[in-house]
Amino acid sequence: MAGMFSTKGMYALRAMADLAAHEGWVSLGDVARRQHISRKYLEQVISLMHKAGYVVSQRGKGGGYQLTRKPEDYTLGEILRAAEGSLAPVSCLDCTNETICPQLDTCSTVSVWRDLGRVTAGYLDSKTLADLVREPGAEDAGPCTARPI
């Protein structure tokens, strides 16, 4: 397992944090360069943020993208939900998924996944874009928090 969230979610957070850190209209090319994200892929991610009403765009010289609200008014959870569709750690608990797992009522691990989902959502809903702009980089010593088996 590579991670709980896709690159789409990670890039959405990075792009939104980049917009939060820069005043006025910000070109997608500048965001792509600073964040080392393919412009084509970033267009897809920003399109999701635009569809959610989190950014507005302006065409032409001096145009670009900007946030529709103050950075402190966006939670990381809402941005990830717009990008990923769900914060559920496993597909059987994904409320956006129409297929309900037939073993949900008898599954011995469902409580672990449900609790993990609650903790994850609670944490992400407690952090804002302003927090990312204030605290760039990792708080801990290194990037890896998972231990190999």
- Compare 79 and 95 and report the one with higher pLDDT: 79
Instruction: Return the structure tokens found at 24.
Output: 């006025």
The 10s digit of each residue's pLDDT in 13-35 is 999 999 999 999 999 999 999 99
Q: Can you tell me the distance from the alpha carbon of 117 to that of 119, in angstroms, rounded to the nearest whole number? A: 6
List, in order of start, the domains of the chain with CATH numbers.
7-134 (1.10.10.10)
Number of separate helices (H) and strands (E) present in the chain = 6, 2
93 CB-near residues (< 8 Å, 6+ apart): 110, 113, 114, 117
CA distances from 52 to 23, 47, 55, 92, 107 (A): 21, 9, 8, 25, 34
pLDDT of amino acid 4: 77
Q: How confident is the model at residue 1 (pLDDT cuts 50, 70, 90)?
A: very low
Residue of 80, 56, 64, 67 whose CA lies nearest to 19: 67
Q: Please tell me the predicted confidence (pLDDT) of residue 145.
A: 56
